[in-house]
C-alpha cells in the first residue's frame, strides 16, 4: 500500500452533497415552522418553500441515482462486515480514549463499513419514506377518501424527517472528532483526500495521469 493525496470526490459528488445539504436544512427549517415549532416564517410561506425544496430534492436524488449507477460509484455504499465491529467499537469507545481510527480510506472504498451501512440505510429507507409520504401528502386531494390514512402518512413523514435530523446532527458531530473540522470538510470542497492505494490502483491512476512521480 502507498498513501497518496488524490481526487476522490468528483465535481458532481461535491455539487450533490452541498446542494442536498442546503435543501435538507431548508426542508427541516420550514417543516418545523409548519408544525409550529417556531414562527420565524408564516405558515403559507413555509408550505410554499417546503414544497419547492422537496421537489428540487427529489429531482436531485433522481439525478444522483442515475449518476451513481452509470459511473459505478454505487459500489462505495455496499455494506461489509469486514472491519465493521472495529469501527463500531471505535465510535462507541475508542474515540473517547484518543485511539486512532481503525479504517483507512481506499480508492475503491471511500466510506468505512459503518458509514456505508448508515448511508445505504439512509438512501434505501429514510429518504424513500420521507419522499413517498411527502408525495402522498401533496396528492391528498386525489386519494383523500381513505379515512384516517392521512394521519399515518403524516406520522411517517414527520418521523422520517426527525430521523434524518438525527442523522444530520450525528454527521456534524463526527466532523468535530479526530482530525480538525476543517480537515474533515476540506475533501468535500476540493475533492482531494488521502487514501491508501494498492499497487494495481496506483498503476491505474498513473496510466490515467491522475498521479505523477512520487508526489504524496
Question: Which residues pair with residue 106 across a beta bridge?
Answer: 109, 196
Q: Model's pTM, two decimal places?
A: 0.81
Residue 68 CA to residue 72 CA, distance in Å, equals 6
Domains of the chain: 2-208 (1.20.950.20)
pLDDT, tens only, 8-33: 888 999 999 999 999 999 999 999 99
What percent of the chain is predicted at pLDDT more than 90? 39
Predicted pLDDT at 110: 76
Contacts of 215 (CB under 8 A, 6+ apart): 4, 5
Angle, CA 65 vertex, CA 62 and CA 69 arms, to 5°: 145
- Per-residue pLDDT tens over the stretch 65-117: 999 899 888 887 877 788 788 888 888 878 777 777 777 776 667 778 888 88
Amino acid at each position: 500500500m502507498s498513501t497518496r493525496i488524490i481526487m476522490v470526490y468528483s465535481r458532481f459528488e461535491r455539487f450533490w452533497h452541498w446542494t442536498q445539504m442546503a435543501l435538507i436544512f431548508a426542508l427541516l427549517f420550514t417543516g418545523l415552522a409548519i408544525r409550529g415549532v417556531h414562527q420565524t416564517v408564516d405558515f403559507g410561506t413555509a408550505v410554499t418553500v417546503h414544497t419547492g425544496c422537496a421537489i428540487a430534492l427529489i429531482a436531485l436524488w433522481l439525478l444522483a441515482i442515475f449518476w451513481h449507477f452509470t459511473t459505478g460509484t454505487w459500489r462505495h455504499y455496499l455494506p461489509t462486515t469486514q472491519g465493521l465491529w472495529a469501527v463500531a467499537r471505535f465510535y462507541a469507545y475508542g474515540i473517547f480514549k484518543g485511539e486512532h481510527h481503525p479504517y483507512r480510506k481506499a480508492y475503491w472504498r471511500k466510506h468505512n463499513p459503518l458509514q456505508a451501512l448508515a448511508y445505504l440505510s439512509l438512501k434505501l429507507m429514510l429518504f424513500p419514506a420521507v419522499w413517498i409520504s411527502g408525495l402522498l401528502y401533496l396528492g391528498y386531494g386525489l386519494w383523500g377518501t381513505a379515512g384516517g390514512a392521512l394521519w399515518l402518512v403524516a406520522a411517517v413523514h414527520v418521523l422520517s424527517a426527525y430521523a434524518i435530523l438525527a442523522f444530520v446532527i450525528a454527521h456534524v458531530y463526527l466532523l468535530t472528532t479526530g482530525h480538525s473540522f476543517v480537515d474533515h470538510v476540506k475533501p468535500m470542497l476540493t475533492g482531494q483526500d488521502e487514501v491508501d492505494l494498492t499497487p494495481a490502483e496506483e498503476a491505474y491512476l498513473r496510466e490515467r495521469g491522475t498521479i505523477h512521480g512520487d508526489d504524496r
